[in-house]
């Protein structure tokens, strides 16, 4: 049982209770529990054994929630949830996924107009039916239409971090089966994409039928779509589809290559093979009927005259030409990262103290971190004011005196006001080691205004990093609209680095933006924006995104040792 599965049920519970108008404390308890479980580094299922006391050591988890976790782990479901599901207006939860629609609006839409889905919402908004509802109006209707327009119709993609938990758990389950000699996740997941449509799992096994039987018996399977000796396909209770292919040893590399995709990349490489008189498919590379490659992926590439291409690049975006001309990038790796530059502590909205964040980072082998709590404008997350940052600086100095291997930099994540001025005084900014600026409000400004706002902030002499530059949320809100090239050029001119925020729902900049930014000469930082010690592990998602953007070690500032990183910071001040 994955933590993501437990968290999913708690989150649904919270949403349904909210729609029902239940006590806010109860709603918050479930939400908090979802987050705590999701962030826990080990599977909570392993805490269930024994008397359940260990579950109650998790923050905010009392006897009642511990019992519910245990029930989910043991039975795969939650009776209390089935109960509220029965009572809830159908479709209301789905409506709450649309930004700007909360529980009471969802209840109104479902109750008075009978809207049961996002598609139904779009129809009603287009027909002008929303504006007449109490508490809505023409402006809300326009906003809803804009939000819906930004999404691809009907597409439901699952976040990479969530897919990873299910994928790894299915892999482990399959690898435990006798006769399985190899198992890998291919498809968009292997290519490092920020979301996946489904997971594609490959196994090497002499007995295809037996491994397929085991696969469809995975405890969380809700529906079996296909079930044969070479392939099977299931849908898990979370809605994630998983496709299984069984391959034999002499085709494993070719299958891994083929099912990693992307389709566009495969087609381009197949064409390259055809020029050499070769046929490429999921079983191998063939000259006539003779297989000349297939067991190993690198042999498939070699047969068509290419070096091995990292999966993150396989999108037919110029990687084949680059490979042919020895121009493939030497992609940054997780191991290259020396420090994490954006995180929050209990001084603002983080859930770990300065000490806890530092200890975890030190244990991860980092040389430095920067603590970047919010400024005063973020009042709802207890942002610090100027005096607060001075007090925190003293705490950081004391902490640094105690730490042996890690250096903590004093930073801040400062809001950019709509007019482009910053939310802290120049004096305070000058006293910090590193200054991040970010857009958190008014992401809807017109592109020219938004661009001016950002340019003014980036040209401020104390600014070092532009955090999560677009502000988009995956499956959530569209980001700020700016003239991206102008923003990047201003950043380059003023020595401001651009962030790849590794939070799974941000991953901002995204892959194509990273690539254009690097092309324009920008320096990137990859950081986690962690709000708890466990979230420091999000670094891998940011690195994957940067790799998809063709980033090399030299393009990423926090791969440098501390002294060289500080030199870079000072050079820009």
The footprint of Zn ion (CB under 5 A) covers: 438
- 158 vs 526, beta carbon nearer Ca ion: 158
Q: Report the C-alpha gap between 190 and 309 in whole angstroms.
A: 12
The interface region with ligand DGT, picked from 14-22, 24-32, 62-70, 253-261 by CB under 6 A, is 253-261
The answer to whether the beta carbons of residues 31 and 72 sit under 8 Å apart is no
Report the SS3 class of residue 228. Answer: coil
CB atoms within 10 A of CB 288: 9
263 contacts ligand DGT (rule: CB under 6 A): yes
* Residue of the chain from 2, 220, 243, 535 that contacts Ca ion (CB under 5 A): 243
- Least distance in Å: CB of 196 to Ca ion? 6
* Residue of the chain from 108, 266, 342, 532 that contacts ligand DGT (CB under 6 A): 266
Cis preceding linkage at 262, omega within 30: yes
* Neighbouring-strand partners of residue 184: 202
How do 497-501 and 524-527 pair as beta strands? Answer: parallel
Return the structure tokens found at 433.
């080691």
Q: Which does 271 bind (CB under 5 to 8 A by kind): Zn ion, Ca ion, ligand DGT, none?
A: none
CB-nearest residue to Zn ion: 438
The answer to whether the beta carbons of residues 191 and 312 sit under 8 Å apart is yes
Site string for ligand DGT, 179-208 (x = CB under 6 A): --------xx-------xxx-x--------
Report the SS3 class of residue 17. Answer: helix
311 contacts Ca ion (rule: CB under 5 A): no
Question: String of b and e for 97-131 (b: at least 16 CB within 10 Å)?
Answer: ebbebebebbbbbbeebebbebebbbebbeeebbe
Binding residues with Ca ion: total (CB under 5 A): 5
Q: Report the C-alpha gap between 266 and 113 in whole angstroms.
A: 47
- 196 vs 438, beta carbon nearer Zn ion: 438
Q: Which does 73 bind (CB under 5 to 8 A by kind): Ca ion, Zn ion, ligand DGT, none?
A: none
The interface region with Ca ion, picked from 147-155, 200-208, 335-343, 382-390 by CB under 5 A, is 200-208
**Phi, psi at 495, each rounded to 5°:** 65, 30
Classify the phi-psi angles of 468: left when phi > 0, otherwise alpha if psi is within -120 to 50, otherwise beta.
left
Return the structure tokens found at 95.
């409506």
67 contacts ligand DGT (rule: CB under 6 A): no
* Residue of the chain from 262, 291, 534, 572 that contacts ligand DGT (CB under 6 A): 262
Q: Which does 438 bind (CB under 5 to 8 A by kind): ligand DGT, Zn ion, Ca ion, none?
A: Zn ion
* Residue of the chain from 198, 336, 359, 385 that contacts Ca ion (CB under 5 A): 198
Helix (H) or strand (E) holding 235: strand 231-236
Task: Express the helix, strand and coil content of the chain in percent, nearest 5 each.
Answer: 45, 15, 35
Q: Report the C-alpha gap between 509 and 311 in whole angstroms.
A: 20
The interface region with ligand DGT, picked from 57-65, 94-102, 255-263, 316-324 by CB under 6 A, is 255-263
- 366 vs 466, beta carbon nearer Zn ion: 466
Binding residues with ligand DGT: total (CB under 6 A): 13
Classify the phi-psi angles of 60: left when phi > 0, otherwise alpha if psi is within -120 to 50, otherwise beta.
left
Q: Report the C-alpha gap between 417 and 413 in whole angstroms.
A: 13
Closest CA to 413 of 367, 360, 468: 468
- Least distance in Å: CB of 267 to ligand DGT? 5
End-to-end Cα separation, the chain, in angstroms: 50
Report the SS3 class of residue 370. Answer: strand
- Least distance in Å: CB of 100 to Zn ion? 20
- Least distance in Å: CB of 241 to Ca ion? 7
Q: Which does 140 bind (CB under 5 to 8 A by kind): ligand DGT, Zn ion, Ca ion, none?
A: none
156 contacts ligand DGT (rule: CB under 6 A): no
Q: Which does 324 bind (CB under 5 to 8 A by kind): ligand DGT, Ca ion, Zn ion, none?
A: none
Q: Which does 267 bind (CB under 5 to 8 A by kind): ligand DGT, Ca ion, Zn ion, none?
A: ligand DGT
Q: Which does 67 bind (CB under 5 to 8 A by kind): Ca ion, ligand DGT, Zn ion, none?
A: none
Q: Which does 259 bind (CB under 5 to 8 A by kind): Zn ion, ligand DGT, Ca ion, none?
A: ligand DGT
Q: Which does 261 bind (CB under 5 to 8 A by kind): ligand DGT, Ca ion, Zn ion, none?
A: ligand DGT
- 232 vs 569, beta carbon nearer ligand DGT: 232
- Least distance in Å: CB of 217 to Ca ion? 20
What single-letter DSSP state applies at residue 44?
T
120 contacts ligand DGT (rule: CB under 6 A): no
Q: Report the C-alpha gap between 244 and 201 in whole angstroms.
A: 5
Q: Report the C-alpha gap between 472 and 482 in whole angstroms.
A: 12
Q: Which does 56 bind (CB under 5 to 8 A by kind): ligand DGT, Zn ion, Ca ion, none?
A: none
Q: Report the C-alpha gap between 68 and 44 in whole angstroms.
A: 12
**Phi, psi at 434, each rounded to 5°:** -150, 135
Closest CA to 183 of 166, 167, 159: 167
Q: Which does 262 bind (CB under 5 to 8 A by kind): ligand DGT, Zn ion, Ca ion, none?
A: ligand DGT
* Residue of the chain from 200, 204, 373, 423 that contacts Ca ion (CB under 5 A): 200
* Residue of the chain from 89, 91, 167, 187 that contacts Ca ion (CB under 5 A): 187
Binding site for Ca ion (CB under 5 A): 187-188, 198, 200, 243
Binding site for ligand DGT (CB under 6 A): 187-188, 196-198, 200, 258-259, 261-263, 266-267
């Amino acid at each position: 049982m994955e933590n993501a599965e437990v968290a999913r049920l708690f989150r649904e519970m919270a949403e349904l209770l909210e729609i029902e108008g239940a006590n806010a404390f109860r709603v918050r308890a479930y939400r908090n529990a979802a987050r705590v479980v999701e962030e826990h580094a080990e599977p909570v299922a392993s805490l269930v054994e024994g008397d359940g006391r260990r579950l109650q050591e998790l923050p905010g988890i009392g006897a009642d929630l511990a019992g519910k976790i245990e029930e989910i782990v043991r039975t795969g479901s939650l009776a209390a949830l089935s109960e509220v599901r029965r009572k809830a207006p159908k479709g209301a939860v789905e409506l709450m996924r649309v930004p700007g629609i909360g529980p009471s609006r969802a209840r109104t839409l479902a109750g008075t107009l009978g809207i049961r889905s996002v598609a139904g919402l779009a129809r009603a908004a287009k027909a002008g039916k929303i504006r007449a509802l109490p508490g809505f109006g023409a402006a809300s209707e326009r906003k809803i239409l804009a939000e819906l327009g930004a999404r691809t119709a009907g597409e439901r993609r699952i976040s990479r971090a969530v897919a990873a938990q299910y994928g790894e758990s299915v892999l482990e389950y399959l690898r435990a089966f006798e006769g399985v000699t190899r198992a890998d996740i291919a498809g968009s997941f292997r290519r490092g994409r920020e979301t996946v449509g489904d997971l594609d799992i490959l196994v090497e096994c002499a007995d295809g039928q037996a491994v397929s039987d085991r696969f469809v018996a995975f405890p969380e399977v809700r529906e079996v779509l296909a079930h044969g000796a070479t392939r099977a396909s299931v849908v898990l209770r979370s809605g994630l589809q998983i496709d299984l292919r069984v391959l034999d040893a002499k085709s494993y590399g070719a299958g891994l290559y083929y099912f990693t995709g992307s389709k566009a990349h495969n087609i381009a490489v197949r064409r390259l093979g055809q020029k050499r008189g070769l046929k490429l498919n999921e079983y191998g590379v063939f000259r006539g009927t003779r297989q000349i490659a297939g067991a190993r992926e690198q042999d498939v590439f070699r047969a068509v005259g290419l070096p091995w291409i990292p999966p993150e690049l396989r999108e037919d975006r110029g990687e084949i030409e680059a490979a042919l001309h020895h121009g493939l990038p030497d992609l940054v790796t997780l191991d290259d990262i020396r420090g994490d530059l954006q995180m929050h502590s209990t001084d603002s909205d983080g859930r770990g103290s300065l000490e806890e964040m530092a200890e975890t980072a030190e244990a991860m082998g980092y040389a430095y971190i920067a603590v970047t709590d919010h400024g005063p404008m973020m009042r709802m997350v207890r942002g610090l004011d100027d005096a607060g940052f001075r007090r925190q600086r003293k705490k950081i100095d004391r902490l640094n005196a105690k730490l042996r291997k890690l250096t903590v930099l004093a930073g801040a994540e400062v809001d950019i006001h709509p007019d482009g001025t910053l939310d802290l005084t120049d004096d305070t900014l000058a006293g910090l080691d590193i200054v991040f600026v970010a857009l958190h409000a008014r992401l809807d400004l017109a592109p020219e205004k938004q661009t001016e706002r950002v340019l003014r902030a980036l040209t401020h002499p104390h600014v070092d990093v532009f955090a999560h530059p677009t502000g988009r949320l995956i499956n959530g809100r569209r980001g700020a609209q700016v003239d991206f090239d102008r923003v990047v050029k201003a950043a380059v001119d003023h020595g401001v680095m651009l962030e790849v925020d590794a939070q799974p729902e941000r991953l901002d900049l995204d892959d194509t933006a990273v690539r254009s930014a690097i092309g324009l000469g920008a320096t990137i930082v990859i950081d986690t924006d962690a709000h708890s010690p466990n979230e420091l592990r999000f670094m891998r998602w940011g690195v994957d995104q940067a790799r998809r953007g063709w980033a090399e070690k030299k393009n990423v500032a926090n791969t440098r040792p501390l002294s060289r990183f500080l030199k870079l910071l000072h050079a820009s001040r």
